[in-house]
Amino acid sequence: MLTVRLRQTPRRVYVMGQRTRWGNCSAERNLSFNWRLILAPEFVIRYLVTHEAVHFAIPDHSAKFWLTVQSLCRETERAKQWLCRHRAQLTVDLGEVLTRAPDSGRLR
Ligand SMILES: [Zn+2]
**Residue-wise pLDDT tens digits, 49-72:** 999 999 999 999 999 999 999 999
Q: How far apart, in whole angstroms, are the C-alpha atoms of residue 84 and residue 2?
A: 24
Distance 40 CA to ligand 1 centre (A): 18
CA angle 47/52/54 to nearest 5° reads: 95
Distance 94 CA to ligand 1 centre (A): 25
Distance 102 CA to ligand 1 centre (A): 32
Q: What is the DSSP letter of 41?
A: -
Distance 55 CA to ligand 1 centre (A): 7
Distance 90 CA to ligand 1 centre (A): 17
Q: How far apart, in whole angstroms, are the C-alpha atoms of residue 95 and residue 2?
A: 33
Q: What is the CATH number of domain 11-98?
A: 3.30.2010.10
In tens, the pLDDT along 73-86 reads 999 999 999 999 98
Interval 25-47 mean pLDDT: 93
